[in-house]
Amino acid sequence: MAVKIGVRRVHVGLANLDGHMKAKEVTPLVSHDPKKVVDQVRELVARLLAQCTPQEVIGMGICCPGIIDTKKGEVIKAVNLHWHHVPLRQMFSLHFPWPVFVENSMDTGALGEKWFGSGKDVQDLLYISLGNGIGAGIISHGELLEGYQHAAGEFGHTSIDLDGLLCPCGNRGCVELYASAPAIVRRACAYLEKGGETRIREVWDEGSEELTCEVIDKAARLGDPFALKLWQETGELLGRAIANLVNLLDPEIVVIGGGLSLAHPILLDTIAAVIWDTTASLHERKVEVRRAFFGRDSGLVGAAVLTIERIFA
The alpha carbon torsion through 68, 74, 79, 83 (nearest 10 deg) reads: 170
Of the candidate residues 214, 233, 252, 309, the single one contacting a copy of itself (CB under 8 A): 252
The stretch near a copy of itself (CB under 8 A) out of 37-45, 208-216, 217-225, 248-256 is: 248-256
For every residue of 106-122, DSSP letters joined together read HHHHHHHHHHHSTTTT-
d(CA 33, CA 20): 30
Neighbours of 167 (CB within 10 A): 16
Name the one range near a copy of itself by CB under 8 A: 11-19, 149-157, 180-188, 303-311. Answer: 149-157
Q: Judged by CB under 8 A, does residue 146 bind a copy of itself?
A: yes
Task: Pick out residues in 178-217 that bind a copy of itself (CB under 8 A).
Answer: none
Q: Does 233 bind a copy of itself (CB under 8 A)?
A: no
Q: In angstroms, rounded to a whole number, what is the distance separating the alpha carbons of residues 205 and 23?
A: 33
Name the residue nearer to a copy of itself (CB basis): 13 or 137: 137
- Segment near a copy of itself (CB under 8 A), from 109-117, 162-170, 191-199, 294-302? 162-170
When asked if residue 166 is in the footprint of a copy of itself (CB under 8 A), the reply is: no
SS3 (DSSP) at 85: strand
Nearer to a copy of itself, 233 or 269 (CB): 233
Q: With CB under 8 A as the rule, give the number of residues binding a copy of itself.
A: 55
Cβ-based neighbours of 152, under 8 Å, separated by 6 or more? 138, 145, 146
149 belongs to the binding site for a copy of itself (CB under 8 A): yes
Q: Which of residues 98-137 bind a copy of itself (CB under 8 A)?
A: 122-124, 136
Q: Which of 21, 26, 192, 249 binds a copy of itself (CB under 8 A)?
A: 249
Rg, the chain, Cα only: 20
Distance CA 19, CA 302 (A): 8
CA 29 to each of CA 10, 39, 63, 86, 150: distance values in angstroms, whole numbers, following the listed order: 6, 11, 14, 17, 25
Residue 72 C-beta: closest distance to a copy of itself, Å: 13
The binding site for a copy of itself (CB under 8 A) comprises 67, 76-77, 79, 122-124, 136, 138, 140-141, 143, 145-155, 157-164, 168-171, 173, 237, 240, 243-245, 247-252, 277-278, 280-285
